[in-house]
């Protein structure tokens, strides 16, 4: 009778134990597990803390007793394997309850000890409020703190899978969460533009993600909490800290066994999962695997591979039906709030690091037929070999359907398929499930077009690095679409007019064409190519990818959406009677002021008592829509956000009891359009005067007026493109650099005025601005002007809000004095 010993009783270990039993009914099988639990669902732990999984028992898939009863496998929990003696074919074990140490002999041994979270040796990191999450006891501790109501604020260190899942689940328990990540992006395994969508998603939900920053030390905070000092000099105070900065293999106990380990301590195995020691196998997070695309050994700690390796190791330990393990390519998926992010195979980063020749394409198809209700856009990035046309990898984000496409492409990679094969994959199609051309087919078509020379592409990063004197940015959308935002310096020639307006396109420059997602710009590039333009390039992923990748997503700017999640619907006006008719309009894809314009247009044709149900994917619409409704005397029936889509139901007033029209008050609104020192001073003199009379004041800064709000120095790390940078250089850096409207005399005039003001004891402009902010003035920076001028929130002084035109208009409804300066 064969005797199999297994070290580690979770994914790989228990999978192997079950398979061994199925292969050999008579064998003696013993699993050693140092912890209290076996076969638990560690992937479900964050969701139990978030109360998404409500019953703790559901995390425990199997108990030692049940396993013994069903499978005839002995599971010794609380038994730690201390050492191996390969020469004696035995292991040394310690019963952690009694302290007894004993030896156990084996015929075949499987090492499946997994890994443990890395704990940094930072000063103060032993504070009791600092946790890691890997086991059931870890989970119990964190959940107890949350259940007791002790945790109001949490800091998650590390924005990988577990870190972000925990951020979501702590947020779900009403906790204010900050995430600190050393890299310039979350989820380091994907490429930046894909991670940028995750940055946007966490910001929308009010989680403060601080990139390119790390913790340098912890000190005790108030009420049992911790203060984390960051390398940037900032500090974050939190009632609970979760460290999720990586995993290391649990292999210290085999260090002297003669088993070969890799550089980072992982067990080295051959393709039968055999170690270099006779009859000792290994599987799971503790081993190095072969990456099939790089053909190099690496560590990829994932549950799927661990389980499958356990099964294969068992086959090979038994010996009757041996199998080889062909490697792990890192197919993974995660839910970050409403967003799914998935990946398989090689990323661009991996290709660059391993010098694998690659090309890529980004598409934004619908998850199913656009005409069937509920279709959502996803983003798919496909990597492929320009030489062999083989599919190398894919990454995807979206609110539905990403998992299916990633799995199909993972299968294609496993089968060594080419992009041509992707175009022919025959998928199951009906409108609620897919389109006649599935996103996977579409990715194949796009890649095929590149490889067949039908189109040349550039990436969003090429826009950043392009020399504006050598590049012509051509936006081929309609003017209405362009009103939602264009790249700085781009020229609009809609596709429909392109053939007639070819003489407006320079022939001596590189032409980069773009539209929203690349669908119009591809045929437009064909038009140019057919007309002899040799230098026409299509922007992969279009404006959408460029925009999300070049925007710095900040929770503070999307706080209203976080409130919606918490079902706080401010200032909602209701009536008891239902609308006589509800017209549904989809304004998704339009950005400020697009949805507001669409809202107005549709409301204009409704009769009193009828309502408009409008959806928009612009987060600012959450505050703009109610503001617009209030200022026009209409009724807000509903405002909510789900899966990134803001929905407003607004009823035309008239037939139903009218909401009292906003009474004109004595507030003051000032539009600061000018960037001249004297005019900005005038604006603040008036503002402070009004404040001193007890009036509410709103200053709306648009176009050149925004320069008054800029911080004096250059703000680093904003990832601006060359045109935005050029704009930034040319415009004054803040109030101190503003010129006079007359007699500027190369800046001398401004200095003279400041001197005269000082002489007459008139506060400097900067002091006036500070006084106004302190006095409660509402300084609003126009979002659309900021976008056009390439100005970012980080460049503005503290105390400024970012707002749309509707926010300003609402303030002006309560004002008896509206100045344009």
Among 4, 5, 6, 13, binds ligand FAD (CB under 6 A): 13
Q: Which two tokens stand for residue 816?
A: 């008896």
Cis omega (within 30 of 0) for bond into 593: yes
* Binding region for ligand FAD (CB under 6 A) out of 35-43, 206-214, 269-277, 317-325: 35-43
Give the Å distances, CA to CA, from 314 to 14, 268, 291, 317, 772: 10, 17, 22, 5, 73
Q: How far is the CB of 250 from ligand FAD (least distance, A)?
A: 4
State both tokens at 800: 């400024």
Are the beta carbons of 798 and 556 closer than 8 angstroms?
no
Interface pick for ligand FAD out of 50, 64, 114, 541 (rule CB under 6 A): 114
The 3 state secondary structure assigned to 663-722 is CCCCEEEEEECCCCHHHHHHHHHHHHHHHHCCCCEEEEECHHHHHHHECCCCCCCCCCCH
Binding of ligand FAD by 401 (CB under 6 A): no
Contact by Cβ (8 Å): 180, 157: yes
> From residue 152 to residue 171, what is the string marking binding to ligand FAD with x (rule CB under 6 A)?
----------x---------
Residue 5 engages ligand FAD in binding (rule: CB under 6 A): no
According to CB under 6 A, which one of 72, 123, 224, 304 is a site residue for ligand FAD?
Answer: 304
Q: Which helix H or strand E contains 583, and what residues bound it?
A: strand 581-586
Q: Is 330 in the site for ligand FAD (CB under 6 A)?
A: no
Stretch that binds ligand FAD, among 2-10, 257-265, 485-493, 565-573 (CB under 6 A): 2-10
Among residues 43, 482, 515, 782, the one annotated as catalytic is 43
Size of the site for ligand FAD (CB under 6 A): 34
For residues 8 and 327, which CB has a smaller minimum distance to ligand FAD in the complex? Answer: 8
Q: Which is nearer to ligand FAD, 277 or 385 (CB)?
A: 277
Q: Does 43 bind ligand FAD (CB under 6 A)?
A: yes
Nearer to ligand FAD, 8 or 803 (CB): 8
453 contact partners, CB below 8 Å, separation of at least 6: none
Least distance CB 31 / ligand FAD (angstroms): 9
**Minimum Å distance from CB 135 to ligand FAD?**
7
The binder of ligand FAD chosen from 5, 47, 80, 439 (CB under 6 A):
80
Beta strands in 139-288 (DSSP E): 153-157, 176-180, 208-210, 215-220, 226-230, 235-238, 240-243, 247-249, 280-282
CA-nearest of 176, 236, 173 to 559 is 176
Q: Which is nearer to ligand FAD, 285 or 810 (CB)?
A: 285
> How far, in Å, CA of 248 to CA of 329, rounded?
19
Closest distance between ligand FAD and the C-beta of residue 82, in Å?
Answer: 7
Residues 728-747 that bind ligand FAD (CB under 6 A): none
69, containing H or E segment: helix 64-71
Residue 45 engages ligand FAD in binding (rule: CB under 6 A): yes
Is 214 a residue that touches ligand FAD (CB under 6 A)?
no
| Contacts with 373 (C-beta within 8 Å, 6 or more apart), sequence order | none
Exactly one of 4, 5, 6, 11 binds ligand FAD (CB under 6 A); which one? 11
Known active-site residue 351: no
Query: Quick one: 369 exposed, middle or buried, by C-beta within 10 A (0-12, 13-18, 19+)?
Result: middle
Tell whether residue 34 is a contact of ligand FAD (CB under 6 A): yes
Q: How far apart are CA 235 and CA 515, in angstroms?
A: 42
Q: Which of 140, 163, 353 shows the shortest CA–CA distance to 246?
A: 163
133 touching ligand FAD, by CB under 6 A: yes
Spell out where 67-166 has E strands. 74-77, 79-85, 90-95, 101-105, 108-111, 115-117, 130-131, 153-157
Check residue 285 for interaction with ligand FAD (CB under 6 A).
Answer: yes
Give the C-alpha separation, 469 to 722, whole Å.
10
Please check whether residue 413 is in contact with residue 344, taking contact to mean a CB–CB distance below 8 angstroms: yes
Nearer to ligand FAD among residue 113 and residue 398 (C-beta): 113
Cβ of residue 203: shortest distance to ligand FAD, in angstroms?
23
Q: Does 438 participate in binding ligand FAD (rule CB under 6 A)?
A: no
Q: Work out which of 64, 86, 214, 284 binds ligand FAD, going by CB under 6 A.
A: 284
d(CA 131, CA 730): 49
Query: Considering the complex, what minimum distance in angstroms separates the CB of residue 353 from ligand FAD?
Result: 22
DSSP bridge pairs for 91 = 84, 104
**Which region, judged by CB under 6 A, interacts with ligand FAD, from 3-11, 143-151, 175-183, 572-580?**
3-11
CB-based contact 337:201 (threshold 8 Å): yes
Stretch that binds ligand FAD, among 26-34, 289-297, 395-403, 485-493 (CB under 6 A): 26-34
Closest approach of ligand FAD to the CB of residue 16, in Å: 9
| Cβ proximity to ligand FAD, 297 vs 736, nearer residue | 297
Query: Is 7 near ligand FAD (CB under 6 A)?
Result: yes
Binding ligand FAD (rule: CB under 6 A), the pick from 153, 250, 521, 631 is 250
Work out which of 12, 30, 151, 361 binds ligand FAD, going by CB under 6 A.
Answer: 12
**800, 620, 798: which is closest to 701 by C-alpha?**
800
**CA torsion, ordered 705, 711, 712, 714, to nearest 10 deg:** -110
Whole-angstrom Cα distance, residue 774 to residue 27? Answer: 78
The least CB distance from residue 548 to ligand FAD, in Å, is: 25
Q: Smallest distance, Å, CB 686 to ligand FAD?
A: 57
Q: Interface with ligand FAD by CB under 6 A: which residues?
A: 7-13, 32-35, 42-43, 45-46, 80-81, 112-115, 133-134, 162, 250, 253, 284-286, 301-304, 306
Q: Which sequence positions are flagged as catalytic?
A: 43
């Amino acid at each position: 009778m064969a005797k199999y010993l297994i070290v580690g009783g979770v994914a790989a270990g228990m999978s192997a134990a079950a398979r061994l039993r199925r292969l050999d009914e008579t064998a003696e099988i013993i699993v050693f597990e140092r912890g209290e639990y076996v076969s638990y669902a560690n992937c479900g732990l964050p969701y139990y803390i978030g109360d998404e999984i409500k019953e703790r028992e559901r995390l425990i898939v199997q108990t030692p007793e049940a396993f013994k009863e069903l499978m005839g496998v002995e599971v010794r929990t609380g038994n730690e394997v201390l050492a191996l003696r390969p020469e004696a074919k035995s292991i040394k074990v310690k019963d952690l309850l009694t302290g007894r140490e004993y030896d156990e002999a084996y015929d075949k041994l499987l090492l499946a000890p997994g890994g443990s979270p890395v704990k940094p040796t930072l000063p103060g990191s032993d504070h009791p409020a600092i946790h890691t999450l890997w086991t059931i006891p870890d989970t119990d501790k964190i959940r107890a703190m949350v259940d007791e109501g002790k945790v109001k604020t949490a800091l998650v260190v590390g924005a990988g899978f577990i870190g972000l899942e925990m951020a979501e689940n702590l947020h779900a328990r009403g906790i204010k969460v900050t995430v600190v990540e050393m890299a310039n992006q979350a989820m380091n395994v994907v490429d930046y533009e894909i991670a940028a969508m995750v940055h946007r998603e966490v910001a929308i939900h009010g989680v403060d993600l601080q990139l390119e920053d790390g913790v340098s030390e912890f000190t005790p905070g108030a009420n049992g909490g911790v203060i984390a000092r960051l390398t940037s000099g900032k500090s974050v105070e939190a009632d609970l800290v979760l460290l999720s900065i990586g995993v290391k293999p649990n292999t210290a106990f085999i260090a002297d066994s003669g088993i070969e380990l890799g550089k980072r301590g992982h067990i080295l195995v051959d393709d039968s999962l055999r170690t270099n020691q006779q009859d000792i196998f290994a599987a799971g997070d503790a081993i190095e695997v072969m990456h099939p695309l790089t053909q190099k050994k690496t560590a990829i700690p994932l549950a799927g591979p661990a389980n499958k390796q356990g099964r294969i190791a068992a086959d090979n330990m038994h010996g009757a039906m041996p199998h080889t393990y062909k490697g792990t390519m890192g197919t993974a998926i995660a839910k970050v709030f409403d967003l799914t992010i998935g990946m398989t195979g090689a990323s661009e980063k991996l290709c660059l690091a391993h010098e694998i020749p690659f090309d890529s394409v980004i598409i934004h198809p619908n998850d199913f037929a656009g005409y069937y209700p509920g279709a959502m856009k996803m983003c798919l990035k496909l990597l492929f070999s320009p030489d062999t046309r083989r599919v190398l990898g894919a990454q995807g984000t979206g609110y539905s359907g990403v998992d299916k496409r990633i799995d199909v492409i993972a299968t294609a990679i496993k089968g060594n398929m080419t992009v041509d094969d992707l175009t022919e994959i025959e998928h199951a199609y009906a409108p609620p499930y897919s389109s006649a051309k599935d996103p996977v087919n579409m990715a194949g078509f796009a890649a095929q077009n590149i490889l067949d020379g039908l189109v040349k592409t550039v990436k969003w990063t090429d826009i950043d690095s392009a020399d504006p004197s050598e590049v012509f940015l051509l936006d081929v959308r309609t003017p209405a679409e362009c009103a939602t935002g264009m790249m700085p310096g781009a020229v609009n020639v809609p596709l429909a007019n392109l053939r007639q307006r070819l003489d407006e396109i320079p022939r001596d420059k590189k032409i980069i064409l773009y539209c929203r997602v690349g669908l119009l710009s591809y045929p437009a590039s064909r038009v140019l190519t057919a007309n002899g333009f040799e230098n026409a390039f299509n922007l992969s992923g279009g404006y959408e990818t460029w925009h999300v990748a070049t925007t710095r997503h900040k929770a503070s700017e999307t706080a209203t959406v976080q409130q919606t999640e918490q079902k706080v619907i401010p200032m909602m006006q209701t009536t008891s009677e239902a609308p006589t008719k509800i017209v549904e309009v989809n304004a998704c894809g339009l950005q400020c002021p697009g949805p507001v314009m669409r809202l107005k247009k549709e409301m204009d044709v409704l009769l009193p008592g009828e309502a408009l149900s409008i959806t928009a994917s612009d987060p600012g619409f959450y505050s703009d829509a109610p503001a617009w409704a209030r200022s026009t005397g209409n009724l807000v029936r509903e405002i909510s956000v789900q899966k990134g889509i803001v929905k407003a139901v607004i009823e035309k007033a008239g037939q139903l009891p009218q909401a009292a029209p906003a009474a004109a008050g004595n507030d003051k609104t000032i539009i600061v359009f000018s960037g001249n020192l004297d005019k900005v001073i005038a604006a603040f003199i008036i503002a402070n005067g009004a404040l001193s009379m007890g009036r509410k004041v709103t200053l709306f800064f648009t176009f050149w007026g925004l320069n008054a709000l800029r911080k004096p120095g250059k703000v680093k790390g904003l990832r601006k493109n060359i045109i935005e940078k050029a704009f930034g250089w040319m415009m004054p850096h803040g109030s101190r650099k503003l010129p006079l409207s007359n007699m500027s005399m190369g800046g001398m005039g401004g200095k003279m005025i400041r001197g005269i003001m000082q002489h007459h004891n008139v506060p400097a402009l900067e002091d006036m601005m500070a006084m106004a902010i302190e006095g409660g003035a509402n300084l609003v920076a126009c979002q659309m002007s900021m976008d056009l001028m390439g100005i970012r929130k980080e460049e503005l002084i503290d105390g400024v809000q970012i707002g749309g035109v509707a926010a300003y208009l609402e303030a002006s409804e309560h004002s008896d004095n509206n100045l344009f300066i």
